[in-house]
C-alpha cells in the first residue's frame, strides 16, 4: 500500500514553544501512518490601520506563495471559518474515501492573520472548519495534527489514548 503524504501549508513561522512541543509529539505519532511535510510560507506584515483593500492585497501575496507550495496531484483542504464543519469520524471517513478513490497526498492550508484569499479558497477541493470558535492560526496547527492522527486511529480500528 502507498504511504500517505500529508502536507501542512501554513502562513508564518510557529512562535509558541508550548505549541511546538505538542506538534512534535503528533509528528512523532503520525510517522507510523504517513509522511508529514511542513511548509511555512512567509507571512506579510500587517500595518496598523490597514484598510480592507490593504488586507486583501496582503492575502493575495500570501496566497500566491501558498499556491506555489502546493504539490501537484494533492487533494487540497482549506481551513476556513466559513467552511463546512466536520466531526472527527466524518473527517476520518472522508480521508478513507479519498484514499479509496486513489488519493495518496493531502494538503491542508492554514492561513495567517488575514485569512485566505478567495483564489486560494477556490483552489481548494474542500473547505472545512474545525470549530465554530475562533483559534489562532498557530493553535490550529496542533489541533489539526491531532485530528489527522485521530483519523488514522479511527480508520485503523485502533484505540485512541493520550
Residue 161: per-residue pLDDT:
67
Q: Does the annotation place 102 within a ligand binding site?
A: no
| Residue 70 annotated in ligand binding | no
- Domain of 52, CATH number, reads 3.40.1280.10
Question: Has 14 been labeled as part of a binding site?
Answer: no
Q: Tell me what pLDDT residue 31 has.
A: 96
3-class SS shares of the chain: helix, strand, coil, % to 5: 45, 25, 35
pTM score, whole prediction: 0.94
Show the domain range for 108: 4-155
How does pLDDT run across 4-48, given as a tens digit for each residue? 999 999 999 988 889 999 999 999 999 999 999 999 999 988 888
Q: Which residue has the cell 474542500?
A: 126
- Closest CA relative to residue 148, chosen from 23, 41, 62: 23
Cα 83 to chain centroid distance, Å, stands at 13
Beta strands 34-41 and 4-11 are parallel
Is 92 part of any domain? yes
**How many structural domains does the chain have?**
1
The answer to whether residue 138 sits within a structural domain is: yes
Cβ–Cβ < 8 Å for 2, 35: no
Q: Is 112 annotated as a binding residue?
A: no
Residue 161 lies in a domain: no
- pLDDT confidence of residue 75: 98
Residue-wise pLDDT for 111-142, tens only, equals 998 899 999 999 999 999 999 888 888 899 99
Average pLDDT over every residue of 78-85: 94
111 annotated as belonging to a binding site for a ligand = yes
In a domain, 160, yes or no: no
CB 125 within 8 A of CB 74: no
Which of 90-99's residues contact partners 24+ apart within 8 Å by CB, and which partners? Answer: 91/128, 91/147, 91/150, 91/151, 92/150, 92/151, 92/152, 92/154, 92/155, 94/126, 95/151, 95/155, 96/155, 99/4
Question: Does residue 53 belong to any structural domain of this protein?
Answer: yes
d(CA 55, CA 118): 12
Q: Which of 89, 112, 100 is nearest to 42 (CA)?
A: 112
19 is in an annotated binding site: no
The pLDDT assigned to 162 comes to 57
Tens-place pLDDT, residues 43-63: 988 888 888 888 889 999 999
pLDDT at 1: 60
Amino acid at each position: 500500500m502507498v504511504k500517505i503524504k500529508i502536507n501542512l501549508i501554513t502562513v508564518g513561522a510557529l512562535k509558541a514553544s508550548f505549541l511546538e512541543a505538542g506538534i512534535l509529539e503528533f509528528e512523532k505519532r503520525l510517522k507510523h501512518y504517513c509522511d508529514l511535510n511542513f511548509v511555512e510560507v512567509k507571512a506579510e506584515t500587517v500595518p496598523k490601520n490597514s484598510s480592507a483593500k490593504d488586507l486583501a492585497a496582503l492575502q493575495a501575496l500570501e496566497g500566491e506563495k501558498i499556491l506555489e507550495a502546493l504539490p501537484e496531484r494533492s487533494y487540497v483542504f482549506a481551513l476556513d471559518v466559513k467552511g463546512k464543519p466536520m466531526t472527527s469520524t466524518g473527517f476520518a471517513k472522508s480521508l478513507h474515501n479519498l484514499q479509496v478513490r486513489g488519493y495518496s497526498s493531502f494538503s491542508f492550508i492554514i492561513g495567517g492573520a488575514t485569512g485566505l484569499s478567495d483564489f486560494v479558497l477556490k483552489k481548494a477541493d474542500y473547505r472545512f472548519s474545525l470549530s465554530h470558535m475562533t483559534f489562532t492560526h498557530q493553535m490550529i496547527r496542533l489541533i489539526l495534527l491531532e485530528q489527522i492522527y485521530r483519523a488514522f486511529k479511527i480508520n485503523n480500528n485502533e484505540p485512541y489514548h493520550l
